[in-house]
Amino acid sequence: MENFENSNLTEIESKLNTDYKKGLTEDEVNQRLKTGGKNVLPTKKPTPWYVVFGWSLIEPLQIILMVAAVISVIAPRFGRWSDSITFEEFIDFIVIALIVLLDAVLQTVQTVKARKSVDALKSLSKPQAVVIRDGSQKEIDAENLVVGDIVVLEAGKYVPAELRIIESSDLMVDESILTGESLPVEKTHEKQKVTTILAEMANVVFMSTFTTAGRAIGVVTKTGVNTEIGKISTTINENADQETPLEKKLKKFSYLISVVAVIIGVIIFGAMLVTGQKDSWATYLIIAITLAIGVIPESLSAVVSITLSFSTKRMVKENVIVKKLASVETLGSVNVICTDKTGTLTQNKMTVKRMIWNNKIITDEEFIATTLDEHKDFMLKGLVLPNDSVVEDDARMGDPTELALVDFALKMGVDETLSRNTWQRMDEIPFDSERKLMTTVNNVNGDNIIFTKGAIDQLLNVTSRILIDNQIQTLTAAMKKEILNNATKLSDQALRVLAFAYNDGYDDLDNQDDLEQNLIFIGAVGMIDPVRQEAVQAIAEAYNAGIRVVMITGDHATTALAIARDLNLAYTEYEVMSSDVLESLSDVDLLRIIDNIKVFARVNPEHKVRIVNLLQQKGNIVSMTGDGVNDAPSLAKAEIGVAMGIAGTDVAKQAADVILTDDNFGTIMKGVNEGRNVFQKIRRSIVLLMGFNFANVLTILILSLINHTAPLDAVDILYVNLVVESCLAIAIGMGNLDPTLMKLPPKQGGSGLLAGLLIPILKIMIISTIISLISFYVGMAFTPSEFVSHISGDTDKWWVVINDNIYSVEQKTEVIIYGRTSLFITIVFAPLFFSHFIKLSNWKASNKIDWKISTPLVYAALIAFVLNLAFIFIPGLNDQIFKLLGYENLDCDKFGWNQNNLGLFFAAFGLAILPACGILLWDAITFYAYHWSHEAWQRNRKIVSKMVEEDKKIALAKSKKNRKKI
């Protein structure tokens, strides 16, 4: 692509085959539209809802569940293919299928809702452009611009395409959305050297930037996809959607569980075949497949989706829109946040912070507090009279620097519109880049008063006197030096200095030559785009949570460092790296030092992507926040892109995974907290599901090897997995947030879902297995001897029937019905109690016990309690579906549920409470061991460490306070 920066105007006119005075003809425009296309940005076609739904159905865990569903139908029919098919055989299949469909629907609905929320944030207006065509000036839709069009730019207009300036008059352009520059930059039509740094292309204006002052005419050199913003948008659209860390972990977890299930099934089948009756292989295969199904947490996918869905709803209330469910968890995993400065960490609003007043540096608050006298009165008039900006309600029109002066005057009750109407402008000399001054003559109480503002060095050249303590004095060389030294101090703090002067008794309005001569120096202001206070707090929260914040900006290093100091982000120039140094380093060299760099200054969009990529190479999970077009590629590259919803561009919102509707950097920490809690809740659910599933499988394995028949049917296991456990696991996901998680460092990117969960899972598995085995044999103790003899035909001892291979598998299955019922009662009621104690608590965070009760979990336990009673005691459900003790399935009333054997229920129910007691005792011992069982010297060391940390915080606060006094 040809560069026009270093070409003269005649060459450009010839190369583009255009006419600067007449512009293009309509025929030429139509021809170029056909060949070059419309001036529109590429947009990525949204994925249809049915495709999202389809992809949700073929995720690894969903496929496993559907395979389990099919097996649940096929497995029981081994050896009896000729039997008639009944509805009961499809109950397991229907339940699992419904779980899979529910999960897919939730994911689809959330994705579509997030997409609509993003669309609602986009501007509905079509940009317009003023062009010269066929020798006349007209306004057209910007999308119809072509290369060679002559475009007229005025203050307050968006740049409709990429233009080479051919004529300019004090043109200032806000390029912050593209370059990150917080202040408007001056543009010229003069020939420039070719450069790759966008912020230094002084004779080119870029599409979607904003003119703040002046006027210009430019020729279109690039449109649509060929513009800088178009290239960025194309890059984003070409990027494939990345899997979130949670999606990767779930996929890995699914593969692991499937392998474990197959291994368990093979081992159980082989063991039973070796130790049992060879002709009962079909029954053993059913048992093996049933246990394999029991390992798989069928409800986990639904639990994850529902937990994420509830979190996204909560986050909407916190001004966070999540475009993808799994992105919630990714926020919690982030350990590096890369953030743009302008508009994200700062207010994107120039503000007066310091004053040079009576040859001293004072704060803006100190000046506001001074008594109104003649000196201050001249200063207030100087703020608003040589000033063209206007503030009306929420509308702000004008140069950001002039707007800052109007805002400052308004704090002292001076309204710019009223002042200009009262003291009318009689004459003026507009600002230009050579003089760097602006002068107006205003009629103040019948006298013509000159007011001048501008760069302090230029203004001092035209002043001969100074106003100090209401006394006009001769401005000596020593005074000028002192003023310049003070100005340098402010500049070193990245403050932009603007000086003011006046003169009175001017009557010759026809002669402007003397307007800027022999002026009286009033004072000067130091302005900066101040930091957001919520950003300061958010960075402190991030530090406490073990998250590193890196600022990436297009501003100069001095300005960036000053802002970083105010944010408590960086303190020395060694922590700042400019783009020229960045470009000089190879990736290998940069990787060695990147952990020490907290601020990257003067960067281009490609630099941001490189920085994010290198941080990812070091094993970090990176979040990028921003609002401009220049942030979009890095937003797409990062694991989690966070865009600003109000000031953010459509391109940034399109690239991001999360959008902050209040443009508050502090809101991202609420998202991090929610994300960490989501991950913790999912892990708690996994502990419940896997710990209890393994306990049930281990119990059934042991009893099956002893008895050569399964103590529970597949439908019993699926009821526990899909109803009881799902009810509780979903309620865990709806529970309260754990604030202690923000005191811990984030999980490492490579850590899986099961990292650190082995002990909690083993704890539940061991305790539950022991209690379940006891429950089975307690139930067998309730078995009537007449019932055993009725089945065996010769013995009334149940242990003889289940241990002697002369009895068939069918006889063994019938004789264990009391043990089966007791075991079922214990395993369906046990999680209702111990699920409340699966806290995965941060023992190190506090020595105080969190006694909060999860209301959703209590309600879920009550619902499951009622369902359990129904399935245990309602005829037809207990005996026909679950093959439990009933009223009619044992040929005699005295062998079913009756007043003589209700003790079995209470015994099994009592045993169901014991796992909760065991887990609570285990946790109590752990808590005591960490906080109270240390030797005296260990406790003292902890106390000293805590005091050292507090001293560091106090020292940091003092350092911050001292910097503010400078």
Helix (H, G, I), strand (E, B) or coil at 352: strand
pLDDT digits (tens, 9 = 90+) for 180-207: 666 788 888 888 888 777 777 888 998 8
Average pLDDT over residues 67-74: 70
Tell me the sheet residues that pair with 150. Answer: 132, 219
pLDDT at residue 41 is higher than 70: yes
Model pLDDT, residue 490? 92
In whole angstroms, what is the distance from residue 909 CA to residue 824 CA? 10
User: For the ranges 530-534, 543-547, 602-606, 843-847, which has the lowest average pLDDT?
Assistant: 843-847
Model pLDDT, residue 923? 78
Model pLDDT, residue 600? 94
Main-chain phi, psi angles of 515, to 5 degrees: -65, -40
Model pLDDT, residue 200? 79
User: For the ranges 82-86, 602-606, 830-834, which has the lowest average pLDDT?
Assistant: 82-86
Average pLDDT over residues 65-87: 69
pLDDT digits (tens, 9 = 90+) for 207-225: 888 787 788 899 999 888 8
Model pLDDT, residue 135? 86
- Say if residues 482 and 473 touch (Cβ distance below 8 Å): no
Residue 894: pLDDT band by 50, 70, 90 thresholds?
low
Model pLDDT, residue 740? 78
In whole angstroms, what is the distance from residue 656 CA to residue 344 CA? 15
Model pLDDT, residue 239? 55
In whole angstroms, what is the distance from residue 399 CA to residue 386 CA? 13
**Read out DSSP for 287-318?**
HHHHHHHHHS-TTHHHHHHHHHHHHHHHHHHT
Model pLDDT, residue 156? 66
Model pLDDT, residue 899? 73
In whole angstroms, what is the distance from residue 19 CA to residue 24 CA? 7
Q: Residue 920: is it exposed, middle or buried by C-beta count within 10 angstroms (0-12/13-18/19+)?
A: middle
Model pLDDT, residue 181? 67
Question: Cα–Cα–Cα angle for 913, 820, 795, nearest 5°?
Answer: 130
pLDDT at residue 819 is higher than 50: yes
Q: Which long-range contacts (CB under 8 A, 24 or more apart) does 359-366 make?
A: 359/466, 359/468, 359/479, 359/482, 359/483, 359/486, 360/486, 361/486, 361/489, 361/490, 364/408
Model pLDDT, residue 122? 45
Residue positions annotated with a catalytic role: 340
Main-chain phi, psi angles of 137, to 5 degrees: -90, 135
- Say if residues 96 and 69 touch (Cβ distance below 8 Å): yes
Please enumerate in sequence order all residues whose Cβ is within 8 A of that of 698, keeping only pairs 6 or more positions apart, or say none. Answer: 765, 769
Average pLDDT over residues 683-698: 88
Helix (H, G, I), strand (E, B) or coil at 98: helix
In whole angstroms, what is the distance from residue 398 CA to residue 212 CA? 6
DSSP 836: G
Return the percentage of the chain with pLDDT > 90, whole number. Answer: 26
First to last CA, the chain: 49
The structure's pTM equals 0.68
Range ranked top by mean pLDDT from 464-468, 655-659, 666-670:
464-468
Main-chain phi, psi angles of 312, to 5 degrees: -65, -35
- Say if residues 636 and 609 touch (Cβ distance below 8 Å): no
Return the percentage of the chain with pLDDT > 70, whole number. Answer: 82
- 601-627 CB burial, b ≥16 within 10 A, e <16: bbbbbbbbbbbbebbbeeebbbbbbbb
pLDDT at residue 943 is higher than 60: no
Model pLDDT, residue 952? 59
Residue 124: pLDDT band by 50, 70, 90 thresholds?
very low
In whole angstroms, what is the distance from residue 693 CA to residue 687 CA? 10
- Say if residues 909 and 784 touch (Cβ distance below 8 Å): no
Half-sphere exposure of 327 (CA within 13 A, CB side): 27
Q: Is 185 left (phi over 0), alpha (psi -120 to 50) or beta?
A: beta
pLDDT digits (tens, 9 = 90+) for 138-189: 888 888 899 999 999 887 677 889 999 998 888 888 887 777 666 788 888 8
Average pLDDT, the chain: 81
Residue with tokens 């050579």: 434
Q: How far is CA 401 from CA 343, 383, 421, 522, 848, in A?
A: 16, 11, 22, 18, 52
- Which run of H or E residues covers position 544? helix 533-544
Half-sphere exposure of 840 (CA within 13 A, CB side): 27
Residue 942: pLDDT band by 50, 70, 90 thresholds?
low
pLDDT at residue 354 is higher than 50: yes
- Say if residues 692 and 725 touch (Cβ distance below 8 Å): yes
In whole angstroms, what is the distance from residue 911 CA to residue 914 CA? 5
Range ranked top by mean pLDDT from 715-724, 913-922, 924-933:
913-922
**Read out DSSP for 169-235?**
EEEEEE-HHHH--SS-EEE-SS-----S-GGG-TTEE-TT-EEEEEEEEEEEEE-GGGSHHHHHHHH
pLDDT at residue 97 is higher than 80: no
Average pLDDT over residues 755-776: 90
Please enumerate in sequence order all residues whose Cβ is within 8 A of that of 946, keeping only pairs 6 or more positions apart, or say none. Answer: none
In whole angstroms, what is the distance from residue 213 CA to residue 186 CA? 9
pLDDT digits (tens, 9 = 90+) for 608-650: 889 999 999 998 999 998 776 667 778 888 889 898 877 776 6
Please enumerate in sequence order all residues whose Cβ is within 8 A of that of 277, keeping only pairs 6 or more positions apart, or say none. Answer: 708, 805, 809
Model pLDDT, residue 502? 95
Range ranked top by mean pLDDT from 49-53, 599-603, 880-884:
599-603
| Cα-Cα-Cα-Cα dihedral sign, residues 474, 477, 478, 479 | positive
pLDDT at residue 671 is higher than 90: no
Model pLDDT, residue 966? 46
